[in-house]
Amino acid sequence: MDSLHISIPWTLAVTVLTALIGNVITIYFKRLRTFAVPTVGADTDDVNALKGRYVHEADVLLREGYKKFKNGIFQVVTPDGPRVFLPRKLAHDLKPYNRHEASGMKALADRHIGHYTTIDHESDIMLGAIKIDLNRNLGNFVADVEREVAHCFETQFPPCHEWTPLDLHEKLLRVVAQASARIFVGYPMCRNEEWLECSTKFALDVMIGAEKLKQWHPWLRPIAQYFVPEMTRIRGDHRRALELLQPELEKRSKEPGNTDAHNDMIGWMQQRAKKLGDRSFDSKELANLQMLTATAAIHTTRLAIIHALYDLAARPEYIEPLKREILEITKGNNGTLRKQHLTQMRKLDSFMKESQRHNPPSIATFQRKAMVPIKLSNGFHIPAGTIVQCNTNMLDEAPAEWGDPNEFDGFRFYKLRSKPEDTNKFQFASTSYESMQFGFGNDACPGRFFASNQIKIILAYIISNYDFKFEDGVVGRPKNVMFEVNVLADPTVKVLFKKIYRLDSTDDYITGCVFKSQLGITGTAIVAAFADSPEYSEQSTDEMMASVTHIPRVTHIFFCAYLADPDEGEPACINGAMPSNFLATLKKTSQIADLQFFVLTCGLTQYGLHQGSQKTPRKNYIPFLARAKGSASKFLLHSIVRAGKGCRRSREYLELDGHVSVDVVGMVNASTLQMVMSKVGGICGHVSQNAMAVPIQTKCFYHQMASASHIRAGRISGTRLHARPPVAEVEAELGLESEFKQNDLYNQIDSTKWAQCPEVHTLKELEIAKMLPPTADLKGSHS
Ligand code: HEM
């Protein structure tokens, strides 16, 4: 007890003394570090006010410096001491210096006291994996990333049937983290909640921890780090990252014949370490590098997306042309993105670049720490150890041919690229003397091509699936928030999202049966109407329009009516033509603009997507379908897959004979559906007892919803399919390469047992989950 009494005053005394000595020495060194260049705001004596201005309005300060000293070097007083800003033109002088002479990484590490925050860690393995392996593989990941993006929207976002306010900062952090993790750590790790949390929080801990620790005197930081919670968390983040990664690494190491052949950042890093003979590289280092990569990638990318969305919401006139570009480009590919699609999205690329020009990640990029003394062409000496950066965001420095530099022209770069000689210039990821948002020179951001793809995929998803606008009261583009030279999007602004239910292409959706009481027509009636007409498959949409104009706006569509015919080709022909023509008709009459749910139910007969001996996909349907009108004529399976993709993307419902997502949230079997239909006044056309309507969350095709437990429970019996399903022969045509794997077909479904499954919804549950309108509102009878 006594020793404690003595030790506290002593400890305090030593601490105060240390701080005092430290202060004196620091002031002395700071004096030494003052540069022989003018200081912005030197006319005021209030140094603290100047520091405060740097923190909150560095943009104003740098503009003042630019106006006053034009092409001259100036310095600014900051909480970290004076900082030197070079005019853009001197970037040329610095460019030839290599990373060991003028280091961007060291500059960044110094700013975030990387020695403590652990980011002072330069790795050739990491840089090589990003610069070479990631960029080389970009094209291979577009579909995977798109899938993760879709999965994230479907699982993390509210349904947005009505205008729903979203915190974009929070939501997009998750989307970008998961989409990036798909490539950094592969599937299924990219969906591991703890990993995602760990890899996103680490960057925040570094940034906030650094700011907090900087409040302490440098001499006290070795001890003070233990009083800053974020610093403790950083250590925990590293530990946790290793723990989480370990099982994945072990799993990989046990894979036959391979340890590190996975095509993702883990694999690339492992391969590089091996090639470089780096014996110090182990799982711990791998986990650390993963944290660093995520830090560089996730927050920057998220911010660029938020800025772009704010710009779009403030200038909605750009949304329609962008949407048109996206839909036009993806039209021929089931709405699924490919690498070349991203390249073709020139308007979107231009908009992203213009958004970044006005809202760069930092207003002073090309930041370098001189590791050796550097002499610039104007005679200025940069002493070793000094950090310099370029004042890169003076919009008026743009070349005259760019047009008014201060205006927001979303298609500025699109127009500039229209000259044949400039077609590959001015891209979002291009760096140049005029566009330094990603830095400049050899060490410009190596992740920018990847970031460009990620941003396009996410923006394209949002633009084609949601309407969005600012919440009431937000006028114009919300002003950015400055933190030192970093440009942040205002985190208090909420953007409202509303899901788009749109039929882009007739073969994206198929229908047949709708609620009579709501829609005034039933599937049976539709079928009957068309079947009555000998020309049903030949009838043009214009002709059909005359017969359906009485239908009110459709909100729910159930597809469970197929025509059967002893001639197998005939129903296929009917099924291909009738629904697509019918939908085209409804689309023309705008009666499906309010569509909320789409349910497809299929039985096990006649539908052309079946497998197994008697249910081989009917390649022989193709000639028959060729007679059908519209794009559904290609192949019924094609249409259904497309319908599935449409459903997946819009959180609607689909059943494909048990080949559904592993993430199924619930399902309705045929008898439930029939009950629903009869209760609400609808009627099912032809529904097989084995049919089910399944709410789909993600990828809908060729995953088994039926698990071994279902088989054991006697709900399902299975048949092993042949190794390569016949449909694989047309996989390229379907745009579904490598989707078709050997599968078990579960085709004997006991619907009574299914109805007792916990995951099968009752009608009441569907109502409660708002999957169906309340039955009370749905009275009526079918005709
Ligand atoms: C919109 C998103 C992004 C922005 C705005 C951005 C911006 C930047 C900037 C300004 C630099 C400094 C370059 C220089 O000083 O010349 C940089 C460096 C870096 N970025 Fe990015 N970045 C983004 C995305 C990414 C991604 C996705 C990755 C990883 C996959 C990444 C990895 C890196 C790395 C490793 C460096 C250091 C390069 C070196 O020192 O050689 N960045 N980034």
Alpha-carbon dihedral sign for residues 343, 346, 347, 349: positive
Ligand 1 pocket, residue 367 CB under 6 Å: yes
The answer to whether residue 384 sits within a structural domain is no
- Judge if 562 and 657 occupy the same domain: yes
Q: Kindly state the percentage of the chain with pLDDT values over 90.
A: 50
Helix, strand, or coil here: 447? coil
The pLDDT assigned to 59 comes to: 96
- Judge if 267 and 200 occupy the same domain: yes
The answer to whether residue 782 sits within a structural domain is no
The pLDDT assigned to 546 comes to: 60
- Judge if 330 and 444 occupy the same domain: yes
209: part of which helix (H) or strand (E)? Answer: helix 193-214
The pLDDT assigned to 524 comes to: 35
The answer to whether residue 81 sits within a structural domain is no
**Cis, bond preceding 256 (omega within 30 deg of 0):** no
The pLDDT assigned to 690 comes to: 29
The answer to whether residue 80 sits within a structural domain is no
pLDDT digits (tens, 9 = 90+) for 95-124: 999 999 999 999 999 999 999 999 999 999
The pLDDT assigned to 635 comes to: 28
Query: Is the per-residue pLDDT at 775 higher than 90?
Result: no
DSSP 710: H
Q: Which two tokens stand for residue 281?
A: 């590289």
Inter-residue contact 292 to 121 (CB < 8 Å): yes
Rounded distance from Cα 558 to ligand 1 centre (Å): 48
Ligand 1 pocket, residue 428 CB under 6 Å: no
Determine how β-strand 374-375 pairs with β-strand 466-470. Answer: unpaired
Residue where one domain finishes, among candidates 479, 499, 519: 499
Inter-residue contact 22 to 217 (CB < 8 Å): yes
Inter-residue contact 75 to 39 (CB < 8 Å): yes
- Judge if 450 and 536 occupy the same domain: no
Q: How far apart are the first and last CA of the chain?
A: 92
Rounded distance from Cα 301 to ligand 1 centre (Å): 10
- Judge if 466 and 531 occupy the same domain: no
The pLDDT assigned to 678 comes to: 41
How much is the mean pLDDT over the chain?
A: 71
Q: What are phi and psi of 466, to 5 degrees?
A: -135, 145
- Domain extent for 317: 116-366+407-499
Cα dihedral 516, 519, 521, 522, rounded to 10, equals -50
What angle, rounded to 10 degrees, do the helices at 283-314 and 229-254 form? Answer: 110
- Judge if 490 and 527 occupy the same domain: no
- Judge if 492 and 545 occupy the same domain: no
**Segment 320-349 mean pLDDT:** 86
Alpha-carbon dihedral sign for residues 266, 270, 272, 276: positive
How confident is residue 765, by pLDDT bands cut at 50, 70 and 90? very low
553: part of which helix (H) or strand (E)? Answer: none
- Judge if 261 and 309 occupy the same domain: yes
Ligand 1 pocket, residue 389 CB under 6 Å: no
Ligand 1 pocket, residue 361 CB under 6 Å: yes
* ipTM of model: 0.99
Residue where one domain finishes, among candidates 499, 523, 547: 499
Q: How buried is 261 (Cβ within 10 angstroms: 0-12 exposed, 13-18 middle, 19+ buried)?
A: exposed
Residue where one domain finishes, among candidates 499, 534, 565: 499
Helix, strand, or coil here: 69? helix
The rounded Cα 92 to chain-centroid distance in angstroms is 35
pLDDT digits (tens, 9 = 90+) for 589-620: 666 555 544 444 333 222 323 222 222 222 22
**CA-452 nearest atom, ligand 1:** 1
- Judge if 530 and 422 occupy the same domain: no
The answer to whether residue 53 sits within a structural domain is no
The answer to whether residue 713 sits within a structural domain is no
- Judge if 623 and 536 occupy the same domain: yes
Nearest to 575 by CA among 585, 560, 590: 560
The pLDDT assigned to 465 comes to: 86
Phi-psi group of 319: left, alpha or beta (phi > 0 → left; psi -120 to 50 → alpha; rest → beta): alpha
| DSSP annotation string for 618-646 | -TTHHHHHTTSSSGGGG-HHHHHHHHHHH
Number of domains comprising the chain: 3
Nearest residue (CA) to ligand 1, atom 4:
300
- Judge if 237 and 323 occupy the same domain: yes
- Judge if 490 and 348 occupy the same domain: yes
Rounded distance from Cα 322 to ligand 1 centre (Å): 26
Q: Is 445 annotated as a binding residue?
A: yes
Cα angle 601, 605, 611; round to 5: 100
Q: Which two tokens stand for residue 8?
A: 């506290």
Q: What is the pTM of this model?
A: 0.68
The pLDDT assigned to 42 comes to: 78
Query: Is the per-residue pLDDT at 225 higher than 50?
Result: yes
Nearest residue (CA) to ligand 1, atom 42:
447
**CA-356 nearest atom, ligand 1:** 5
Mutational test site, ligand 1, from 445, 485, 486, 488, max ligand atoms within 8 Å of CB: 445
The answer to whether residue 102 sits within a structural domain is no
Ligand 1 pocket, residue 104 CB under 6 Å: yes
Q: Which two tokens stand for residue 461?
A: 């998803």
| DSSP annotation string for 466-529 | EEEEEPTT--SSPPPEEETTEEE--TT--EEEEE-----SGGG----EE-HHHHS--HHHHHHH
Rounded distance from Cα 87 to ligand 1 centre (Å): 21
Q: Which two tokens stand for residue 413?
A: 């770069």
The pLDDT assigned to 244 comes to: 96
Rounded distance from Cα 105 to ligand 1 centre (Å): 10
The pLDDT assigned to 254 comes to: 83
pLDDT digits (tens, 9 = 90+) for 457-503: 999 999 988 999 999 999 999 999 999 999 999 999 999 998 875 43
